[in-house]
Structure 1
Amino acid sequence: MFDRLSSLVIALTLVAIAAIFATLTGGDPLSIAIMVLAGFLAAATVYSALPVALPDPKGAGAEPAVAPPVSLLRHPDFAHWVDQEKEPLIGTADNIVTIANDAAIRLLGRHIVGADVRTAIRHPAATDWLSRIEGQEQLETVNLIDFPRPGQRWTMRIAALSGSEYIIFLSDRSAIDAADRMRSDFVANASHELRTPLAAILGYVETLQEMNGEADAPTRNRFLSIIDREARRMQQLVIDLLSISRVEADRFRRPTTPVDLAVIVQTTIAQLRDSEQPRTKDIVARLGDAAQPMLGDEAQLGQLAHNIISNAMKYGHAGTPVTVELVREGRRVRLSVSDEGDGIAPDHLPRLTERFYRVDEARSRSVGGTGLGLAIVKHISERHQGQLDIDSEVGKGTRVSVAFPLLAPA
């Protein structure tokens, strides 16, 4: 396509040729002058009408310009994704926090946006690592011990973007650590609990063997009684360990069988009264005459009732009542067992359902406790969607109760 200057040159050339031709053919001078003037005006009109060619900013042979990179942290889709993340996430540019999701705000505070990330995450390991990022250090995962509070652990990792932009991911590992400690403590405690009665059994057996029949009948019977007691203690511990394993294996499977909790509790009380356990005469049952239908595992609910009532008999004062009640509360039924014992201090209550936890270890061993009874009760309650409550007052006694949902009427 011709530009404006080329079009003007062509127009003027054509006018000049026409004028020369007219002169050579003997044309009138006035007519030739008018023709030339008209030609110039036409050329000027054409010149002004043509579009102006834009200058080429690239120049001849210049490389095409590259658009500047778009910041991911400022992209609206990125902000939308960040808001959906449940774990804390922080975006930084030149070590300044430019974006933080709700989880990060809850963890570190709203003031972190616009602050230096090394002061926003207040932990020595985080500060040291963030200070070394620009030195091309390997971006490994960092453990933040006792962050943000003592006893907790978080991990921090970084994804590098273009330029000096980074995304920081924070993950809470406190629950995982607690579960790991619980597993290791469980193995250690179970080993200890089994080793203690086993050592007593082996010791008394060796003593009897060394006597070669020289021991008198009362001594021999006393040793055999101790062996029998410790063997039964081991047996009960193994039974409880198997029980808690079975309950944990079933904890995500809701029971689907209709049962009557009132009948289960009545049967449990009858079994206890028929046993050789002391204080069964102190059981006071207030179960009412109404059925208490619910969805449940009959064997597990019987074990739950047995454990709660047995605990009340062990730790309540002899001769005082062990009260077992069933009370309806709307669409729930509450099983409660109360004793009149020494009670439990408030600081012990949150830990009573931990495996092998004992308020008074010496007394627990003397009455034959394994330290797993209430842990089993807790797991059975959770499987049946029950709410476990433990109330106690030092010097007056303890009340353990579980509220279960009743079966909806057909």
Structure 2
Amino acid sequence: MLQGFGSRTITAIALVVVAAIAVFLLDWDLQPAIITLVGGIAAALAATGTGDGPIEMLRPVESVRQPSPPNVQEIIQAIVQPVLIVADGRVTHANTVALALLGKHIVGEDVRVAIRHPGAAERLASPTSGVPQGPINLVGLGTKDQHWEMHVTRASGGQRIVQLVDQTGNYAAERMRVDFVANASHELRTPLASILGYIETLGDDKAGEDAQVRGRFLKIMFDEARRMQRLVEDLISLSRIEAEKYRLPDRAVDLGALISEVRSELLDAQDKRSGDIVTDIDLGVPPVAGDRAQLSQVLHNLIGNAMKYGRPGSPITIKLWRDAAGTVRISVADEGDGIAPEHLPRLTERFYRVDPGRSRAAGGTGLGLAIVKHIIERHRGRFDVTSLLGKGTTVTVMLPAHVQTYQATPASSDPNAAVIKR
């Protein structure tokens, strides 16, 4: 019947037929059948070439199996935040995270019952009302300290997608930022107010003429100015350390030599402690991968704290060793009054002081251990504080060895057994 037609004409007729069949199949959502049919036609048409010869046959092709699309429950199950699908005011679908937060009974419930929060009720009141673009903040959903943002999105068929985004961490970070700014402002304002007060007093003719009073006032002003200087330097240090926290230091640092150097500097600055700083450094401890200036700052802060809060005349012991896992450890121990257990978790908070009056009198800024924490974290290390009231405090720092330079042998109880291999 088709002998009088060229292959191109037959091709055109075939495509028209395919299009008609495809329209019919689409109405029945038979996409796999369409793909199979089109594949067979395409293979047959490819066999005809570009000439005008007749089509001899249409070769059947293997059916192409297409994976079925995921259903709604599978899609929302892959989302890590709580998600609800709402239709006619009731929850039709909920992922596992939503069930854990709101309860396993919520599917089928009125959405206002499922999310029991006054802030959500108005937004969820009517399934047909317009939905504003902005999120709603929900405080206390789940636990009283949790902060959530509720996002409501319109979907087809009058359905709505309700997503809850946990903002607890962001709120905590913002609270810390606000507290930090307030504390820094207070710490700077206090010595500044003292300096201004003494300057105003010295402006009085009688006070300015008394050399003894003038000298005492100038000494106080100098001490307060130095206090401000230390605080500003610590704030700058903290800012720089945080800016570099994702840059892993990789230079080899000899901690034994660094400990000896810092010890000498602190003994020169604190004559009353002369002879009271004892070092116990194992042989064969490999260098660590680090930033020498920052590790020096860690040692200055830890040994300086031990000198400030240890009892006068009592020893401060600094140990350096490598443990069985190959980690390099430094401990700084004093024999002071110790720290109560309830204070230990907060020691690394900025401006947190166990005894504010004693800390300020000793020249502390309240940022020392916060700086230590950030430096150690940048070096991918850890540190631990243990303390007994009336006995003293020990701070232990753990740092990874510089494996590119040194290959350390397994640690031994005999310090002389550790051997460095270059």
Distance 1:360 1:132, change over 3 A: farther
SS at match of 1:147: coil
- 1:57-136 alignment, distance < 5 Å: 76-136=70-130
Structure 1 residue 200 corresponds to structure 2 residue 194: yes
- 1:222-241 alignment, distance < 5 Å: 222-241=216-235
Kept after mapping to 1: 8 A contact 2:208/2:214: no
Kept after mapping to 2: 8 A contact 1:272/1:280: no
Query: How many angstroms does 1:87 deviate by?
Result: 1.7
Aligned equivalents of 1:277, 1:247: Cα separation in 2 = 31
**Correspondence for 2:252:** 258
Aligned equivalents of 1:181, 1:277: Cα separation in 2 = 42
**Correspondence for 1:322:** 316
Aligned equivalents of 1:195, 1:93: Cα separation in 2 = 57
CA RMSD of aligned residues (A): 2.4
Distance 1:138 1:148, change over 3 A: same
Distance 1:132 1:140, change over 3 A: farther
Query: How many angstroms does 1:215 deviate by?
Result: 4.6
| Aligned AA (1:286) | D
Query: How many angstroms does 1:164 deviate by?
Result: 4.1
Distance 1:218 1:81, change over 3 A: same
TM-score (normalised: structure 2): 0.74
Query: Unaligned stretches of 5+ in structure 2?
Result: 1-26, 30-67, 408-422
| Aligned AA (1:351) | R
Q: 1:360 aligns with which of 347, 355, 358?
A: 355
Kept after mapping to 2: 8 A contact 1:280/1:313: no
**Correspondence for 1:161:** 155
Kept after mapping to 1: 8 A contact 2:106/2:114: yes
Query: How many angstroms does 1:92 deviate by?
Result: 2.5
SS at match of 2:264: helix
Kept after mapping to 1: 8 A contact 2:89/2:126: no
C-alpha offsets along residues 361-404 of structure 1, whole Å, 9 cap, x if unaligned?
11111111101101100100110001121222333322222211
Aligned equivalents of 2:355, 2:185: Cα separation in 1 = 20
Structure 1 residue 397 corresponds to structure 2 residue 387: no
Aligned equivalents of 1:168, 1:397: Cα separation in 2 = 54
Query: Unaligned stretches of 5+ in structure 1?
Result: 1-65, 69-73
Q: 1:386 aligns with which of 381, 394, 410?
A: 381
Aligned equivalents of 2:301, 2:106: Cα separation in 1 = 51
Aligned equivalents of 1:281, 1:232: Cα separation in 2 = 27
Q: 1:248 aligns with which of 197, 222, 242?
A: 242
Kept after mapping to 2: 8 A contact 1:256/1:296: yes
Structure 1 residue 290 corresponds to structure 2 residue 284: yes
SS at match of 2:124: helix
| Aligned AA (2:351) | F
Aligned pairs, number: 340
Rg larger for: 1
Kept after mapping to 2: 8 A contact 1:345/1:393: yes
Aligned equivalents of 1:353, 1:318: Cα separation in 2 = 25
| Aligned AA (1:394) | L
TM-score (normalised: structure 1): 0.76
Kept after mapping to 2: 8 A contact 1:262/1:292: no
Q: 1:343 aligns with which of 338, 354, 360?
A: 338
| Aligned AA (1:327) | W
